[in-house]
Amino acid sequence: MTQTPARRGRPPESATGDTRKRILNEAAKLFARQGFHGTSVSEIGKAAGVQSGALYYHIKSKDELLWQILISYIEDMLESTLKTVAEHDAPEERVRAMVHNHITQIIRYRRHVTIELRDRAALSKPHKEQLQAARDEVQRLWQQAIDDGAAAGVFRSNDRVITNALISMISLVSQWFKLSGEHSSDDVADILADLVLDGLRTP
């Protein structure tokens, strides 16, 4: 019986992709727990089960890992926000849906939020600018919803201070929310959406 010779050279694309995902996932865990500067490349390789010599086949550098972790989170947030906005015309409904979406995303990406708050300064200038551009677009969508509500006479104000405070308040849910806690993420979203809309509505 003829045996099939072992494959040589590069691993299959699927295997390479799986390894890269595992490296990114373990790097996110370590960066969130220890900080970007407090984590070594060798620690990432060990956690991902990849030998140091092979690690650089899958990544360019630790800096590149930080970038990929943060941009994946921000781009996913932007994509889901765009989808949410497209599904809701009425300003009140849109803001409520955006609160739910934002909380769902930041809980899903809570490690990424922690890393961004603490370590985004470690990004290169071009990466900082690209990340900020995506963040600005998310904020623009929030501001547009509040602007539309004010124009329709539904909201009392569209001051940018409100938008900035709203996004900051919702984003910080990732720092205290517990999956095993008294409230589900939907409960928290409903409570905060009510709080926001009660404050925004025209008397």
pLDDT in tens, 1-26: 444 444 444 444 445 678 888 889 99
| pTM flag (> 0.85) | no
* Residue 196 dihedral angles phi and psi, to the nearest 5°: -65, -50
Q: Provide the residue range defining the domain that includes 65.
A: 61-200
Output the domain CATH number for residue 93: 1.10.357.10
Assess if residue 3 is contained within a domain: no
* Whether residue 118 sits in one domain with residue 141: yes
Assess if residue 2 is contained within a domain: no
Predicted local confidence at residue 16, as pLDDT: 64
Number of domains in the chain: 2
Q: Strand, helix or coil at 182?
A: coil
Of the candidates 179, 44, 189, 31, the residue with the CA atom closest to the CA atom of residue 111:
31
